[in-house]
Amino acid sequence: MELLRLLLRNALRHKLRSVLTVLGVSIAVMAFALLRTVVTAWHAGVDASAANRLITRHAISFVFPLPLAYKNRIEQVPGVERVTYAVWFSGVYIDKNQFFARLAVDSETFFDLYPEFVIDKEQFEAFRRERNACVIGIDLVRRYNLKIGDIMNVEGDAFPGQWEFVVRAIYRPRDQTVDPANMLFHYNYVQERVRQEMPQRSGLVGWYIERISKSANPADVSEAVDGLFENSHAETKTETERAFQQNFLSSASAVITAMNVMSFVIIGIILLVVGNTMIMSARERTHEYAVLKALGFSWPQLFFLIAGESFILSLAGSALGLLVTFPAVQGFRSALPKGWFPIFYIKPETIVFGCAAGLFVGLAASIIPMRRILNTRIVEGLRHVG
């Protein structure tokens, strides 16, 4: 008879209580992982940010455009390797519930700065040749059952009118952190109509993106770029892509903080669930532990029995919870409006964190019962009626 066998039998001694504890832990771990996944999705843009890219926008607000003429001047700044630009096109595809980014980009330079959008060479050439062509992410292909040659009709709002784009290329994200649901088309195509219908808005871009050299200091380059346009009618604010994405998140920071706090509150709840079970179990077995102590069992052996049982319950619950998280995340994603979170996946860190939480809870939940058992004198334990 090994001590492990006694541990396992103790863990299953009150089957209903053990099952309920494991279920309680698994539900809490699932909720924890789901919350972490939502927080991850919110931070996806930040995570995908490249360290060598800067974003230059209007100093007052992102919604104000910048002159296209800035491009040549930015290119002259030491440390800047390449510059591209983009415009937030917005618009409505099918209906207003279809969320995905629709951007007018400089097709000659944009994809050079964003190698994470992996496009077949031939498809890319076809896109470059056709003025109303567009590149779409693989997620849009799946979501709307699109293929090369299909027409996508977008009703303009920021750029009013009916816009027709032909799908000529499909990009695949290089990794899970890259948004697979963008629609990108030629800035020049948009400008053609803007010049005719809204001439006052021609020659403007939403923001610039600069790729800087490895040796360049982002802060110095940012300062130099903004210095170029100081006291102009459109002053700029340049920052790293990460800082730019984080600014986007700042509006939702309270919600994200609340979710972060909640995810750790859940760890506390798991601790209470397992701790309660362990305290009850240890109390009921005070007499038995006293017998073991009388027989000569040492505190490490008793610790193995108590903490081991706690570990088994919390790890079983964590494993089950993480297993259930995968379908839960899929269900959550499908319940949201299409494209709400284009990047929505369980990060390996979430799994590791879930397991670590299980281990921590297993250990922490055994501390109180362990202390009680060790501090109970054998003669008192033998008198105890559980």
Q: Does residue 378 belong to the site contacting another protein (CB under 8 A)?
A: yes
Nearer to another protein, 238 or 281 (CB): 281
The amino acid present at 106, given as its one-letter code, is: D
**Would strands 151-156 and 161-173 be described as parallel, antiparallel, or unpaired?**
antiparallel
> What are the Cα distances from residue 268, in Å, to 25, 271, 272?
11, 5, 6
Residues 348-377 binding another protein (CB under 8 A) are 377
The structure tokens listed for 15 are 């089957």
* Residue 302 near residue 10, CB atoms below 8 Å: no
Q: Does residue 253 belong to the site contacting another protein (CB under 8 A)?
A: no
* Collapsed DSSP state (helix, strand, coil) of residue 216: coil
**What is the CA angle 326-330-335, rounded to 5?**
145
What number of chain residues touch another protein (CB under 8 A)? 22
Nearer to another protein, 81 or 288 (CB): 288
Q: How far is the CB of 3 from another protein (least distance, A)?
A: 7
Nearer to another protein, 3 or 146 (CB): 3
Residues 278-297 binding another protein (CB under 8 A) are 287-288, 291-297
Q: Does residue 10 belong to the site contacting another protein (CB under 8 A)?
A: yes
DSSP for residue 386: -
* Collapsed DSSP state (helix, strand, coil) of residue 55: strand
Q: By rule CB under 8 A, what string of x and - marks binding of each residue 13-52 to another protein?
A: x---------------------------------------
* Collapsed DSSP state (helix, strand, coil) of residue 102: strand
* Residue 353 near residue 36, CB atoms below 8 Å: yes
Of 97, 213, 257, 298, the residue at the interface with another protein (CB under 8 A) is 298
Q: How far is the CB of 305 from another protein (least distance, A)?
A: 11
Q: Does residue 379 belong to the site contacting another protein (CB under 8 A)?
A: yes
Nearer to another protein, 78 or 386 (CB): 386
User: Burial letters for 83-122: b for 16+ Cβ neighbours within 10 Å, e otherwise?
Assistant: bbbbbbbebebeeeeeebbbbbbbbebbbebbebbebeee
Q: Does residue 96 belong to the site contacting another protein (CB under 8 A)?
A: no
Nearer to another protein, 265 or 379 (CB): 379
Q: How far is the CB of 297 from another protein (least distance, A)?
A: 7
Nearer to another protein, 176 or 301 (CB): 301
Q: How far is the CB of 300 from another protein (least distance, A)?
A: 10
DSSP string, 103-132: EEE-TTTHHHH-TTEEE-HHHHHHHHHSTT
* Residue 64 near residue 353, CB atoms below 8 Å: no
Q: By the criterion CB under 8 A, which residues form the site for another protein?
A: 1-3, 5-6, 9-10, 13, 287-288, 291-298, 377-379, 382
